[in-house]
């Protein structure tokens, strides 16, 4: 079972990763019993599987994914939505209303207009069909407030963390509501602009350092430090006012 790289080593397309007994995992392909990388990324060997964690990629829709999209067009029976994927997604009016859609009565632009941001779920997608969305579930629908930031979709798992450890820590430390779209868009919704700033800062840090270990701890530390400094400044301000 020859293996040609160490774990977490940087590989480029066409690099020979392993031979024979391994299975080809994500971002690899097998030809004549040899496994090659197909993207730039960090190679990993699980028991019998070789895979590459891509460092840069684009979003490929998957049924069941929650995504954040932007309304591109209002059509007769629904909306065309850009979900940053190779194809535009469709949201039909019947997947947005909780009753049958009546074209004479229902005014679609008043629900979502061009430029609106929507959290939606992918219900259908394959090689022959464009992705289909729905918003008839809890937590889905139009985004009315907060900030949206974009990162490479391959780094989304890092923002979520193992069993959601990173994301629950972020929510707790910043006090923000954070909604993650698998397509690389993240909604940060805080009570104050300061909370949002912290949330955005933390996610940017995760994006930059996605390929390193012990990240959750470092982000926690950074957030606590930031918050601590702010409070010191606040209390300082109070004291100075008193002395005045």
Partner 1 sequence: MTQKKPEKLIDENDVRIDGRKLKDLRPTKIEVGVLGNADGSAYIEQGKNKILAGVYGPKEAHPKHLALPDRAALRCRYHMAPFSVDERKSPAPSRRELELSKVIREALEPSVFTEYYPRTSIDLFIEVLQADGGTRCAGISVASVALADAGIPMRDLVCACAAGKVEGRLVLDLSDYEDKGGDADLPLAYMSTVNAVTLLQMDGILSGEEFEQAVKMAVEGCKQINQIQKEALRAKYSVAKEAETEKEAEAGEE
Identify the helix (H) or strand (E) that includes residue 117.
Answer: strand 117-126
> Least distance (Å) from partner 1 to the CB of residue 7?
14
> Least distance (Å) from partner 1 to the CB of residue 97?
27
For residues 53 and 176, which CB has a smaller minimum distance to partner 1 in the complex? 53
Residue ranges with strand state E in 20-114:
23-24, 28-31, 34-37, 41-46, 49-54, 66-74, 78-82, 89-92
Quick note: the x/- pattern for partner 1 over 73-112, rule CB under 8 A, is -------------xxx------------------------
For residues 42 and 169, which CB has a smaller minimum distance to partner 1 in the complex? 42
Q: Identify which range of 51-59, 91-99, 139-147, 170-178 contacts partner 1 by CB under 8 A.
A: 51-59
Q: Does 40 bind partner 1 (CB under 8 A)?
A: yes
Q: What is the CA radius of gyration of the chain?
A: 22
Q: For residue 130, how many other CB atoms are within 10 A of its CB?
A: 15
**Residues 6+ away with beta carbon under 8 Å from 169:** 161, 216, 219, 220
Among the listed residues 54, 108, 156, 219, the single contact to partner 1 using CB under 8 A:
54
Quick note: the x/- pattern for partner 1 over 136-175, rule CB under 8 A, is ----------------x-x---------------------
C-alpha to C-alpha distance for 143 and 117, rounded to whole angstroms: 6
> Least distance (Å) from partner 1 to the CB of residue 86?
4
Beta-bridge partners for 79: 74, 91
Backbone angles phi, psi at 194, to 5 degrees: -65, -45
Asked if residues 78 and 123 have their Cβ atoms less than 8 Å apart, the reply is: no
Q: Does 6 bind partner 1 (CB under 8 A)?
A: no
Secondary structure letter of residue 196 according to DSSP: H
Q: Are strands 185-189 and 147-150 parallel, antiparallel or unpaired?
A: antiparallel
Instruction: Residue 200: name the closest of 174, 182, 225, 221 by CA.
Output: 174
CA–chain centroid gap for 72, Å, is: 20
For residues 10 and 123, which CB has a smaller minimum distance to partner 1 in the complex? 10
> Least distance (Å) from partner 1 to the CB of residue 148?
19
Helix (H, G, I), strand (E, B) or coil at 162: helix
Q: Does 39 bind partner 1 (CB under 8 A)?
A: yes
Among the listed residues 75, 165, 172, 212, the single contact to partner 1 using CB under 8 A:
212
Could you tell me how many residues of this chain bind partner 1 (CB under 8 A)? 31
For residues 31 and 244, which CB has a smaller minimum distance to partner 1 in the complex? 31
Q: Which residues bind partner 1 (CB under 8 A)?
A: 10, 12-16, 27, 29, 31, 34, 36, 38-40, 54-58, 60, 86-88, 127-128, 152, 154, 208-209, 211-212
């Amino acid at each position: 079972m020859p293996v040609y790289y160490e774990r977490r080593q940087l590989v480029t397309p066409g690099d020979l990763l392993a031979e024979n007994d391994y299975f080809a995992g994500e971002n690899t392909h097998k030809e004549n019993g040899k496994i090659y990388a197909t993207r730039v990324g960090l190679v990993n060997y699980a028991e019998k599987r070789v895979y590459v964690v891509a460092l840069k990629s684009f979003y490929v829709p998957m049924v069941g994914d929650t995504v954040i999209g932007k309304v591109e067009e209002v059509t007769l029976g629904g909306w065309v939505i850009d979900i940053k994927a190779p194809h535009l997604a469709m949201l039909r009016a019947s997947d947005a209303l909780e009753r049958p859609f009546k074209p004479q009565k229902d005014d679609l632009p008043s629900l979502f207009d061009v430029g609106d941001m929507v959290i939606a779920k992918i219900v259908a997608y394959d090689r022959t069909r464009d992705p289909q969305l729905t918003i008839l579930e809890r937590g889905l629908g139009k985004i009315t407030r907060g900030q949206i930031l974009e990162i490479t979709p391959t780094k989304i798992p890092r923002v979520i963390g193992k069993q959601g450890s990173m994301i629950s820590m972020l929510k707790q430390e910043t006090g923000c509501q954070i909604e993650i779209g698998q397509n690389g868009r993240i909604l940060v919704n805080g009570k104050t602009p300061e909370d949002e700033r912290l949330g955005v800062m933390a996610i940017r840090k995760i994006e930059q350092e996605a390929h390193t270990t012990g990240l959750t701890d470092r982000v926690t530390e950074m957030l606590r430090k930031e918050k601590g400094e702010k409070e010191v400044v606040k209390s300082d301000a109070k004291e100075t006012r008193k002395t005045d």
